[in-house]
Amino acid sequence: MIMNRFFLSSSLIAKKVIAENTLQIVLARPAGFSYIAGQFIQIQIPQTNGKILRSYSLSSSPDQADLELCVKLLPNGVGSVFFQRLNVGDQIEFFGPNGRFVINDSSSALAFIATGVGIAPIAGMIEDVLKNKKNPQSVYLLFGVRDTAHMFWTERLEILARQFSNFSFDITFSQPDMSWTGLSGRVINFIDKLASSADYYICGSGEMVKDVRSALLARGEPTNSIHFEIF
Ligand SMILES: Cc1cc2nc3c(=O)[nH]c(=O)nc-3n(C[C@H](O)[C@H](O)[C@H](O)COP(=O)(O)OP(=O)(O)OC[C@H]3O[C@@H](n4cnc5c(N)ncnc54)[C@H](O)[C@@H]3O)c2cc1C
């Protein structure tokens, strides 16, 4: 439980269901609040006997006017119930920004690997390197979701790919529908799509991060080129 710590106030601007059990949340950006793409905030969630914290990555890039989150709803989860009940205009309080899952300055190719809402910090990072930093090197995303019902932000990625010739992405479904004609299987099956000698940024479940990191190390990528965040 939280006692007295400095916190920031914000309010809910928009809330949208973007896939099964997945919300896109837009929060007003408090005056003077700055962050690095990939960082997260810790939201204070009121409980009957105090407040509890839940961490959520910022999926917006730092130049955007508002703050964006992407929240996976878990059955009866404290944060999940909080976001389900939150209405436009409601106030929230948070700490942050926190986290070191941010892009290192480097001229190497950038390879991002995300599953599910693990795309949240990575979406902000990709938009930041392409739109703001205007990095010229190759930027590639391998994005794994379960199936069509769990897919989101396809159009956002397609727009980026049309706008920036150095950006490309693949989506793979772990449990594809009959109609799906794209990649099928877990992201670990498509490690060969990741450029060699790149900087790798991985975000998702502990199991996925462990598998992808091990596969990259096994093919000789240096430890310090692999960065990750586990949800
Ligand atoms: C750095 C960081 C960044 C993150 N960024 C994101 C993000 O961008 N988006 C995102 O969705 N998540 C993110 N997370 C995860 C997030 O912080 C929460 O941990 C997650 O969303 C679950 O929170 P919750 O409060 O909804 O569920 P919790 O209350 O933590 O519960 C999790 C699950 O366990 C079950 N459960 C809880 N207690 C019990 C019990 N006693 N017995 C049996 N089952 C139980 C609940 O039903 C629920 O299904 C991030 C985490 C970290 C560390």
Reported as a single tens digit per residue, the pLDDT across 207-231 is 999 999 999 999 999 999 999 999 9
Domains delineated in the chain: 8-98 (2.40.30.10), 110-230 (3.40.50.80)
- How many whole angstroms from 45 Cα to the centroid of ligand 1? 12
Centroid of ligand 1 to alpha carbon of 59 (angstroms): 17
Confidence (pLDDT) at 5:
55
Q: What average pLDDT does the chain have?
A: 95
User: Which atom number of ligand 1 is nearest to the Cα of residue 101?
Assistant: 1
Atom of ligand 1 lying closest to residue 229 CA: 1
Q: What is the mean pLDDT of residues 166-195?
A: 96
- List pLDDT tens digits, range 30-66: 999 999 999 999 999 998 888 899 999 999 999 999 9
Residue 21 has pLDDT above 50, yes or no: yes
Closest CA to 68 of 20, 112, 108, 128: 128
CA of 74 relative to ligand 1 center, distance in Å = 7
Ligand 1 contact, 117 CB (< 6 A): yes
Question: Which protein residue has the closest C-alpha to ligand 1 atom 16?
Answer: 55
Find out whether the beta carbon of 72 lies less than 6 Å from any atom of ligand 1: yes
State the pLDDT at residue 1: 44
User: pTM score, two decimals?
Assistant: 0.95
Please tell me if the CB atom of residue 120 comes closer than 6 angstroms to any atom of ligand 1: yes
Contact 152, 69 (CB under 8 A): no
Residues 111-136 have a mean pLDDT of 96
Categorise residue 41: left if φ over 0, alpha if ψ from -120 to 50, beta otherwise.
Answer: beta
Rounded Cα gap, residues 1 and 90, in angstroms: 22
